[in-house]
Structure 1
Amino acid sequence: MLRIYFTSEDLARVRVAPGPDFLWEISNSVQTLQRRDGTRVFGQWRQWARPRLSDSGRLLSSLLPPHGYSPDFLTPTTGDRGSLQAAVDTLMSAPRRRLRADLAQLAASRHLPNWASPLAVGDTASLRRLGRAVHTYHLEALAPFWQHIHAHIDADRTLRLHSLRDGGTEGLLSGLGPQFRWRPPVLEVAYPIDHQLRLRGRGLTLQPSFFCWPTPITLADAELPPVLVYPIHHAPDWARPARGGGRAPDGTGPLGPLLGHTRAALLREARDGCTTVQAARLLEVTHPAVSQHIKVLRAAGLVTTVRNGGRSFHVATAQGRALLDTADAAEGIGLR
């Protein structure tokens, strides 16, 4: 059990991360790739990814075992992490004392390869090798799904912000899911070991993660800036290729079925997130009609759906928002 202790100042400094964190997704996916559980969700991706990985996967897996401790320096909580290159640069600038302490702790529980010794003292060539491995692994295992990963994390973030708006910080914390229990001033979290995290006014960053599995994660060193990484909901067939694979017979592709006022209005409602019930009420259509329209929008990559507490929550993807922005701009031009 992980217990996170809040002060009143901490409750005012809880934030939801603005999007996926490259290094957390890489680290979590390397660990998930080595596990055998979670087949319903990750089995198809594992079958796809394993034969495609070069030495990068083996290099990273030697530092990221599927169970137990993993080094904090691989998932920094400070520095620029807005792009993969920026994240790698931040990783490669890890303080030597952090490298030395983390790798010593990892070596206490497993045998490390020979190149880990120069890495522990900040050897430039070893750090560059690690950086190349991170880049290559992302390209081989995650890049083909990154748009999907980003959309699902965006959807989860929108859901959390709705919880924050409706119930404040305590509503956000109490609505994180069955692995969490808010007992003011302590957030109890399902965790493989007993661990305590006292925030002491530093606040907490909530980081949704596509590949976090099966329980939430935090950094081992409680003195680092506090972050809680938690699993998001995704459909079990997320890695399955789209049926057919080719263009629609009429040549319009997946956007063809989107013509119509109801779907356009539904996409607009999904810009800020809406449930099936809310959409049906606002658009004055039946729940099954909303579900059918959402299915078409989702197949076109314009909407994604997350489920929370038995409710389906629909959020426009970046592509969906771009389409709406284009339509809004065109309408504005036409009014001049």
Structure 2
Amino acid sequence: MQSYSQLRLGDLDNVNVTVTPHPGATLLSLIAGTLGGRPHGVPRHWQRTVEAVIGADSVILRPLFDPHYSVIPDCLTATSTMAEADMSSYLGALAELDDHILIQQLEAEFGPALPRHWQPVADRPGTWTRAYARLMGRLWEEFRIVWKNADALLRKEQERIGLAAVTRSLHVLLPGLSDRLTCDDASIQLPDQQGATFDLAGRRLTLVPVISGHGACLFSFDQPGPAWIGYPLPAVGLLWSGHARPAVRDTTDKLTLALGHTRAAILRLAGTSMPVGQLAALLNCSPSTASYHCDQLQAADLLSRRRQGRQVHIKITARGEELLTLLA
């Protein structure tokens, strides 16, 4: 049975949200999806690159990805350097990590009787963390060009999140971050084998776009600082074909920046009731694709659907009209 961790947000209009592109979260996702058995959707040719870089050192990573545990101490993830969002700071923090901090965090997560897979780390913490830091450094050198080529996409994503924050349209943005995330007006849920409930309680919510696969999913809710969520960078598939810099469509349309091209088009077309089949024809996409985007808009209370005979008709809601007016 699937378990979840929940982050209670409170009033979305009062949530302080930022976007922080941190390469450390991307590296962890690449490893999780390649060697950790996690469903991050990393494409096979990137997996082969990760495997080649890590090689026999994969034994170092085994404690991180035991099939029965999803917890990784925050000192080993991007959490400790989230404010800097800089790889040199992250790698430096790993290399200089105090043994006692790692042991304390392990015991805080698991208690004094550590799971078997973490015991070798606790026995020689300094040796293990230095080896882990060197491994992450090698992986960064290999994927640095991918990160550089994603610069335009990352800037677009920062603009999109910033617009949602300014226009108080997080209820539109959050449900579409990831297929593995569920969201309502008061909380976020993410799959977690050690599921627990946390409160944002006035802290900042940091969104971290991840350049790995369509299933990327990482988060940290339990620290006193900002809570963060790693999610797939929109259009990450543009980067999978090679190292060519992707073409990013420029737009000043605020609705498109907030919702994406397809959902913005749907909302504008939904001013008058129409069948989903007709909508799909206007969008030049399959009915299943149109239905998927309508599902997301309906979840955000921007769109309503009702059956008329054998057809399902869509119609913009009052909340959708308000968003159209706000972003006109």
TM-score by length of 1: 0.60
Shift of 1:13: 4.2
Counterpart in 2 of 1:31? Answer: 32
- With over 3 angstroms needed to count, the CA separation of the structure-2 counterparts of 1:97 and 1:226, relative to structure 1, is farther
Counterpart in 2 of 1:108? Answer: 114
Q: Are 1:206 and 2:207 an aligned pair?
A: yes
Counterpart in 1 of 2:101? Answer: 98
Q: Are 1:163 and 1:175, in contact at CA under 8 Å, matched by a contact in 2?
A: no
- With over 3 angstroms needed to count, the CA separation of the structure-2 counterparts of 1:6 and 1:40, relative to structure 1, is closer
Q: Give 3-state SS (helix, strand or coil) of 2:197's partner.
A: strand
CA–CA distance in 2 between the matches of 1:270 and 1:100?
50
Deviations 1:72-101 (A, max 9, x none): 211243446343211222334545543003
Shift of 1:196: 0.8
Sequence identity (%): 14
Q: Give 3-state SS (helix, strand or coil) of 1:111's partner.
A: helix
Shift of 1:132: 2.2
CA–CA distance in 1 between the matches of 2:26 and 2:64?
12
Q: Give 3-state SS (helix, strand or coil) of 2:159's partner.
A: helix
CA–CA distance in 1 between the matches of 2:13 and 2:23?
26
* Aligned pairs for 1:70-149 within 5 A: 70-79=72-81, 81-94=84-97, 96-104=99-107, 105=109, 108-112=114-118, 114=120, 116-119=122-125, 123=126, 127-140=129-142, 142-149=143-150
Q: Are 1:5 and 2:8 an aligned pair?
A: yes
Q: Are 1:212 and 1:231, in contact at CA under 8 Å, matched by a contact in 2?
A: yes
CA–CA distance in 1 between the matches of 2:214 and 2:116?
21
CA–CA distance in 2 between the matches of 1:98 and 1:184?
36
Q: Are 1:62 and 1:113, in contact at CA under 8 Å, matched by a contact in 2?
A: no
CA–CA distance in 2 between the matches of 1:214 and 1:175?
13
Q: Give 3-state SS (helix, strand or coil) of 1:16's partner.
A: strand
Q: Are 2:29 and 2:217, in contact at CA under 8 Å, matched by a contact in 1?
A: no
CA–CA distance in 2 between the matches of 1:93 and 1:269?
44
RMSD: 4.4
CA–CA distance in 2 between the matches of 1:269 and 1:11?
24
Which segments of 5 or more consecutive residues in structure 1 lack a partner in the other structure?
Answer: 246-253, 280-290, 292-307, 311-336
Shift of 1:205: 1.4
Counterpart in 1 of 2:186? Answer: 185
* Aligned pairs for 1:49-64 within 5 A: 49-59=50-60, 61-64=61-64
Counterpart in 1 of 2:233? Answer: 232
Deviations 1:16-54 (A, max 9, x none): 3232x1221222211111155759652221123323434
Counterpart in 2 of 1:65? Answer: 65
- With over 3 angstroms needed to count, the CA separation of the structure-2 counterparts of 1:101 and 1:211, relative to structure 1, is farther
Which segments of 5 or more consecutive residues in structure 2 lack a partner in the other structure?
Answer: 266-283, 285-291, 295-328
Q: Are 1:218 and 1:229, in contact at CA under 8 Å, matched by a contact in 2?
A: yes
TM-score by length of 2: 0.61
Work out the number of aligned pairs and report it. 261
